[in-house]
Amino acid sequence: MKLRFSHILLLGLGLGLAVLLVMLFTGQKTWFSTNTPIEIQPNLDLQFKAIPQSPNTFFADGKSLREPVEGSLARGTTTYPLGPGDIDAAETANVEPSDLPKNSEFVLARGQNRFNTFCSPCHYFDGVSENSAISKKGWAGIPNLTRSETAALSNARIFHIISAGQNLMPSYADKIDPIDRWAIIRYLRTLQKVEGVASNPIAAAAAKN
Amino acid sequence: MFSRKFDKGVKTGGAILSAVAAVLFLVGYFGFRNSFADVGYRPEQPVPFSHKLHAGELKIHCQYCHAGVEKSAHSPVPTTQTCMNCHTVIKAESPKLQLVRDSYESGKPIEWIRIHKVPDYVHFNHSRHIRAQIDCKSCHGPIEEMGVVSQFKPLSMGWCLDCHRAPEKNIVGARPISGVFTNAMHKIEDLKKGAYLFTPIPAQVGTSTPITNPQFGGYHSEVPAVKVAGIPHPKKAGIGPENCSACHY
């Protein structure tokens, strides 16, 4: 049979279809691209409005998220007024909220959750700091939180260290809410096996693990 | 009535035209679906940040950097300060981190390129899903294995609804690595075993039972025994809402 133009065209279309089918069935694994997805029909997918953390041409600084007006706070947030050096002021200023239940597994679990999230990169899951990610990467001298010196610190002082930072440790006031900082302290006390905690059966069980 | 040549021309032309139309239809119908066009999108970021290294090897929890995800609708991209918590000392001279140091000094944010995005007429609330103990992996895939993050799920409406209708089939239960609060204590020995961090907690994946009015969906109300103001209480994932206004403005 003589090869005609239409045959080549059909062959091409068939091949294209085959490639398409292969791509369809393996698409989730192979269709990696650095290009933004194509929008045939925009469908109001992209609207001119302020989306958190996206660029915005309306404001001079190009940011959608606005900085709070000087001297103001975003609703529901707090600020920690003391600097890293104000140790004496911290002792009286930081008072554990009375509505944080005592002997509560819920609070301890929350403390562990926040401790593992924010403290463990440096202080490890046990507070000894030895095998933490950052120690392994060569940051020497991360303090062991279970030492008797640290265990002897008051709750207010530890709250102060979390909130304002100390030495090379930055402030975590913007990341951890005050109530969660108190929960972390509760949990830390179980790691330190501080006296008085052991009498609490829940905390004792947590400390044993 | 027509010549043989003309008749053949019509037939061939018709065949070619319908083949072209079929291919165009297939490309249009399947090729530009989210599951095909969006999945795998992995833009080159300004800083070559590796989740595989930070989350996978160093086991830094998702929420260390994406803090606030359990309280806000969007999951915050970390501030430059977050990077500098460690990188003031670790790899302080690395040329790959030059942009981070510049941003830290100037206060101008790094312009990360957004990967996961629902259309602007949809409101997705991270905190509501995190508080239902749904792991990040459910929608973002195994981020801790990705050197360069790519979109893993289609984020299409059908995909959302699949999970809202049958969450127990689609949800990955909270894993310790994500930092999702589950109201459960972990043994420290388990946490030290790295593998445990990436294992979902089976008990947290609730079975979906329809609540009084499935149209409006909601959480199971059985979990929070203690309430402390300011702590987001974890709840068991129930059937998600299916009414339009749950997701659309």
Segment A154-203, tens digit of pLDDT: 888 899 999 988 888 899 988 898 889 999 998 898 888 765 554 455 55
Residue B168 tokens read as 């127990």
Give B37's contacts in chain A (Cβ within 8 Å): 31, 37-38
User: How close is the nearest chain A Cα to the Cα of B217, in Å?
Assistant: 26
Task: Look up the ipTM and state it.
Answer: 0.82
User: How close is the nearest chain A Cα to the Cα of B31, in Å?
Assistant: 7
Surface of B (27-56) touching A: CB under 8 A = 27-28, 30-32, 34-44
pLDDT, greater one: B228 or B48: B48
Which residues, 6+ apart, have CB-to-CB distance to B163 below 8 Å? B138, B170, B171, B240
Surface of A (117-136) touching B: CB under 8 A = 117-118, 120-121, 125-126, 131, 133-134, 136
pLDDT (tens digit, 9 = 90+) per residue, A57-114?
888 888 888 888 888 888 878 888 888 888 888 888 888 888 888 778 888 889 999 9
Answer whether B68 touches A (CB < 8 Å).
Answer: yes
Q: What is the 3-state secondary structure (H, E, C) of chain A?
A: CCCCHHHHHHHHHHHHHHHHHHHHHHHHHHCCECCCCCCCCCCCCCCCCCCCCCECCCCCCCECCCCCCCCCCCCCCCCCCCCCCCHHHHHHHCCCCCCCCCCCHHHHHHHHHHHHHHHHHHHCCCCCCCCCHHHHCCCCCCCCCCCHHHHCCCHHHHHHHHHHCECCECCCCCCCCHHHHHHHHHHHHHHHCCCCCCCCHHHHHHHHC
Model-level pTM? 0.81
Answer whether B19 touches A (CB < 8 Å).
Answer: yes
Which has the minimum average pLDDT: A201-205, B60-64, B95-99, B185-189? A201-205
User: How close is the nearest chain B Cα to the Cα of A187, in Å?
Assistant: 10
Cα separations in angstroms, A174 against A77, A121, B79, B230: 9, 17, 11, 14
Name the closest residue on chain B to residue A31, using Cα atoms.
Answer: B40
pLDDT on residue A118? 93
Answer whether A206 touches B (CB < 8 Å).
Answer: yes
pLDDT on residue A30? 41
